[in-house]
Amino acid sequence: MSSLSFDSLVDNKPTRIEVDGKPVCVARLGNEVFAVADTCSHSEASLSEGDISDGKIECWLHGAEFDLRTGEALSLPATESLETFTVVRDGDSITVVSKE
C-alpha cells in the first residue's frame, strides 16, 4: 500500500511510486486516478517516463501503448497487459493497493 496527495499529481503526467516493493505508475486523468505496473511488458522500461494521451500511456523506449484504466496492451511491440492496482480516493488522499 502507498499513499500520496491528489494535488501532488499533475494531470496527464505519470508518477512513479512503490507498492509492496513493486514499481507502480500512477496517472491522474482529470478527477480520476489510475495505477498500473510501471514496467513495460515488452521491454522492461519505466512507463512513468512515458507520455500520456487519451487515457493511454506510451512507453518511451519502443512506443508500445497501454490503457491506463485496464492495463491492456493496445499496440505492438507489447502483447501482454499490465498489472493494475486499486486506487482509493478520500478527498485529497490517494491510496494505491495491490489487487492480490
C-alpha 28/C-alpha 36 separation (Å) is 12
Domains of the chain in start order, with CATH, are 2-98 (2.102.10.10)
Residue owning grid cell 487515457: 55
Residue owning grid cell 516493493: 21
Q: What is the number of other CB atoms lying within 10 angstroms of the CB of residue 13?
A: 12
Query: Among 34, 55, 29, 58, which residue's Cα sits nearest to residue 46?
Result: 58
C-alpha 46/C-alpha 99 separation (Å) is 20
Extract the C-alpha cell encoding 35.
495505477
* pLDDT tens digits for range 22-46: 999 999 999 999 999 999 999 989 9
pLDDT at 100 over 70: no
pTM beyond 0.75: yes
* pLDDT tens digits for range 49-89: 999 999 999 999 999 999 999 999 999 999 999 999 999 99
